[in-house]
Amino acid sequence: MIDAVHRVGPYIVLGNHVALAHARPECGVNELSVHFTTLEPPVPFGSEKFDPVSLIITLAAVDADSHLELISELADILMEENHVERLSNSATRQEFIRLLQEMRED
């Protein structure tokens, strides 16, 4: 994926200072998983419109479909600019998880 970003640009930067790093099933993914990384300070990825990135979501998908519901939920949450900021500024893992759960329920 890093090579692809170097070749075609920061396609993993989706907006609102969020990047979606991902792995395909044929790259050795064993189970659907998602990981969140907050960056302090935020890091430029080369996206004029959405830099700097403050939140990286890493997604590992086992097939073409199993992750679609998860992606849809995340998109709904991250469409709100203040949600990205609040998640990025969370001080602990527990706070991040609590905020994410609250945002899912809204």
Residue positions annotated with a catalytic role = 22
* Cβ count within 10 A of residue 75: 13
The answer to whether residues 96 and 87 touch, using CB atoms and an 8 Å cutoff, is yes
Q: What's the order of all strands across the beta sheet hosting 18-23?
A: 13-15, 18-23, 53-60, 33-43
